[in-house]
A and B are shown apart, each in its own frame.
Chain A
């Protein structure tokens, strides 16, 4: 598949947006502006960008604790995300959710989830709605390698397969669940083979190759829509930062981190490819400048916006 230049530039733009958004968060955190912790996806941008750009606006996603990238790629506004992390009224969840729990229903993001594997069974229910309501949509369920050892992972895959539900399971295998290396945590063959064992067509792909992610998600999406049933993708990637803000990275070597940064970085790789295919450095620079501008303005706007008012939170607990 050859992608149009527009699509290629959009893939690049989205990866840059995610990276710069999270770098801005890091900076805000170090300035003491953010309460709590956060989980950064720096290094994993290709999976979120490639996957979400292959979806339509009314296709859905569920997301994880490491969900800023999914959220942005599904169309969220940086301003409203910053506002959420800063506890502002304009935030996507009015400051109630924070970094780990952003939902953006307007763009088809059913929400980030702080419970590992918490969204797998939810995605099965959303897929059931699509099926019962005869809609031509899919739900893409993001989860980490750590989630595949929870019971709910297995219950979700089994039922989705039995009932032929339109869900695309996308495991971001960044090779660690917190301090636990995937190969120490997952018995049997690859994570993808677990999908196969439930009769679900499954593949393992390079999660740092943004076009590969895009094409595979698009292909599986089309297959789900034409012949039904779930599909499963294991996208192999790598997280550069600690698990959360309190991680000392004792479980891996700095050589390993450096190797991924230097040799496998999804953004660096894609820039190389784009330039090879004739896109000018100036064009890419313009995109970067626009994003930096957007981030700067969004942060400022969020900091200037009002805090979420203290209303009756007990009333807010019920619909």
Chain B
């Protein structure tokens, strides 16, 4: 029996932790459990899952390393943290890959058992870093995680292989101890998840507790840490990822407008989770169609929209490319659909599991002919919920396709979300047209929306399609003047959406030297950079675009109030291109294409560089 050890508890304002190991080590699960528990104790948090495209890359290799970074705090935060304070390395490869990011003086918890000659060689270490002095400057805790797990599970009927699989729960338990978190949320999760495999539930429970008690009993840890709950606005919270928020957002939209929800989709990383979530909401009458390909995904949605559903299709960049022609069909037939593109690294197959913002111009222009669509972008994981509702609302009101851009970072990342009550959500009406008196399929209302005459309605039998439509009658027309007129009309309809979108609000002074402008999923990084820059005494303003087409009415005026505009984006300057074209304004670009979100320091440095010793006055 080990003796009771009194350990100090140190209070921290914020911590960044990174879990890393083989893609088969359960790193994503460990990270998301730590996140959920951390959210549960009331910290603000932000996460960055970062995993390879291979499902089970060969064990021990550098390219098989999966990571999960989590930033949590007692204060308001917006990013997954620039540099981790703590690295949990389940093998040498994980240490090798992640060490360069670790804060100097940071903590390393390494699974000592895995630092054997074979794994060291695979990771390219000449000698064992846990034993030589290469890790001087870090606080290294070598823990025999695998053997301690095996020891704790010696009574289980499980095979050796299954036992070692529980080692991530040992590591998680240890981290719970180190950061003073309760075990209950994960224990109850284990019980639900492995209800049908009691032996595994039991093993994971034991491993989790063994890790926790190890922290308490061992002499290697002399202190543990505590991060107080963050001061968030009052309400009920939960931790939510962007993909889940997107899915629930569409369920909410369908409930709010009273139309059935149809999803046509083909599996693609990193968007598939939206399909998974929506497939589970059958009791809301949600119809999900896992189509034979991306084209059938959108084509079926168009068919469902013709039939009167709130119809959506979800995909990522390569899939959006495949949906191009059908998107044009939705433009021509003026049917309401929402296309969600969870952007990932491109071109081609690119970096399937990494984030990027390089589909903006594809969303804006990637179609044959003059085929404008409304383009929206969600800015944080929980914002995906509201933007899904917003996209649905606009599509239905104006009878047109809307592209909603999210990205791999906000889709897989999560944050605490103050859950809205249903009665706080905007209700919106959409009714089918049913008056057979002088019905004209392409006659328009004040919003230029055409009537939605759904098959099954007597007297409104009509034909639509991809050939150019005659104004009002909707008959096929090859008339040159009509085509010119209709192209302009469709553009005008998209432009009219500006009346439904909020004016942009400047954070900080409304006039000045420097405005930092972002769009979509970079909001957190930019906000944090701007906040830090201000703390450092700089004067800088910020705006964030969620409506890309059309852009807010007052944007031109806002931009004209600043001498310099900085646009950080995870592409080679796509919003910058749009702003230059739209407002004949030059902008300063900050571009990054590393498959990772911006570190706030990268943006903060750029801000300081632009202001060049001047504080921004």
Q: A and B: partners?
A: no
- Residues of chain B whose beta carbon lies under 8 Å from any beta carbon of chain A: none
Chain A residues with a Cβ under 8 A of chain B: none
